[in-house]
Amino acid sequence: MREIPSDFGRVIAGTRDELFQEAVRLTADAHAKRTGPGVFTWALTGGSTPAAFYAWCAENKTLPEAVLRDTHFTVSDERHVLLSSNESNFGNAERQLLNPLSVPTDRRHPWMVAWPVAEAAEAYRKTMLILSGPGRAYDVCFLGMGDDCHTASLFPQTPLLKDDGGLLFGGQEVPGKGWRLTITPTGLRACGLIVVMALGAGKAEALHRVHRGPADVLNVPSQLLKTCADRVVWLVDEPAAARL
Ligand code: 6PG
């Protein structure tokens, strides 16, 4: 693996398996060093790269027993659909990772998608406050990144990028994509560790825009990670890193 200089966090390039192993190592390290008042929380995410990581973890049984024993799992953004939908990030995380690893249901924390979005966001804020403690979103937050440089459900021009009211989590309608529940910019700054995974040549242009393009958070949302760069690690394979 090699490191690529960036103002947006540590960028580590390597093969898929090296990066997945590094993701496990980073999470286990954060778990071992956790000192906060709450329980250890790990937010998973949606998208193709994280899905490949979950399948890899389940197949290879790579998550350390110490992490599996007491981690509380959630997702950093969610569509307003039932968990049974294959559009549900938490539903997919359950099917691909939590069920195969037999994580008990009392350590699974989905967004309350059966409720109207405002109430669902409020209930989730209360749950995470109890789990993580005040001022903390998650101990570890996994993210993917879309071709339009969105991360979590923070899409270009989304109002939460301009003003999230200082809240860690929110809900909003995203034109063309429906209602989304998501960690906010304030929430991202309140995570202990953020791991962004982007694999494949299809991510090269978006990574270039974030790390090497002009500053424009409103149109390149992943650039907001610069505000917490000391806690961000990007895991990218060589095809994705081609333009960095
Ligand atoms: C989602 C995600 C989103 C995703 C990116 C990357 O719900 O879809 O939270 O932010 O991680 O869109 O997805 P791909 O890896 O599929 O491109």
Note whether residue 1 is domain-resident.
Answer: no
Note whether residue 65 is domain-resident.
Answer: yes
Q: What is the DSSP string of the chain?
A: -EEE--SSSEEEEE-HHHHHHHHHHHHHHHHHH--SSS--EEEE--SHHHHHHHHHHHHHT-S-HHHHHH-EEEESEEESS-TTSTT-HHHHHIIIIITTTT--GGGB----TTS-HHHHHHHHHHHHHHHH-TT-S-SEEEE---TTS-BTTB-TT-HHHH--TT-SEEEEEETTTEEEEEE-HHHHTT-SEEEEEE-SGGGHHHHHHHHHS---TTTSGGGGGGGGGGGEEEEEETTGGGG-
Is 159 a residue whose pLDDT tops 90? yes
Going by pLDDT thresholds of 50, 70 and 90, the confidence category of residue 4 is very high
Please state the rounded mean pLDDT for residues 32-55. Answer: 91
The proportion of the chain whose per-residue pLDDT surpasses 90, expressed as a percent, equals: 96
**pLDDT by residue (tens digit) across 184-229?**
999 999 999 999 999 999 999 999 999 999 999 999 999 999 999 9
Q: Which atom of ligand 1 is nearest to the CA of 180?
A: 7
Please state the rounded mean pLDDT for residues 71-90. Answer: 97
Please state the rounded mean pLDDT for residues 16-44. Answer: 94
Q: Which atom of ligand 1 is nearest to the CA of 152?
A: 10
Confidence (pLDDT) at 160: 96
Confidence (pLDDT) at 36: 72
Distance 47 CA to ligand 1 centre (A): 4
Domain count, the chain: 1
Residue 226 maps to which CATH number?
A: 3.40.50.1360
Mutate to test the pocket of ligand 1, among 143, 154, 197, 205 (most ligand atoms within 8 A of CB): 143
Note whether residue 28 is domain-resident.
Answer: yes
Please state the rounded mean pLDDT for residues 21-50. Answer: 93
Tell me, yes or no, if the pTM score tops 0.95: yes
Is 145 a residue whose pLDDT tops 80? yes
Confidence (pLDDT) at 205: 98
Its domain, for residue 186, covers 6-243
Is 37 a residue whose pLDDT tops 80? no
Distance 133 CA to ligand 1 centre (A): 27
Note whether residue 10 is domain-resident.
Answer: yes
Q: Which atom of ligand 1 is nearest to the CA of 198?
A: 15
Is 59 a residue whose pLDDT tops 80? yes
Q: Which atom of ligand 1 is nearest to the CA of 153?
A: 10
Note whether residue 153 is domain-resident.
Answer: yes
Is 38 a residue whose pLDDT tops 90? no
Please state the rounded mean pLDDT for residues 170-186. Answer: 95
Note whether residue 167 is domain-resident.
Answer: yes
Please state the rounded mean pLDDT for residues 52-60. Answer: 94
Going by pLDDT thresholds of 50, 70 and 90, the confidence category of residue 72 is very high
Q: Name all residues whose Cβ lies below 6 A of ligand 1.
A: 45-49, 77, 89, 144-146, 150-152
Going by pLDDT thresholds of 50, 70 and 90, the confidence category of residue 182 is very high
Note whether residue 213 is domain-resident.
Answer: yes
Please state the rounded mean pLDDT for residues 118-133. Answer: 96
Note whether residue 230 is domain-resident.
Answer: yes
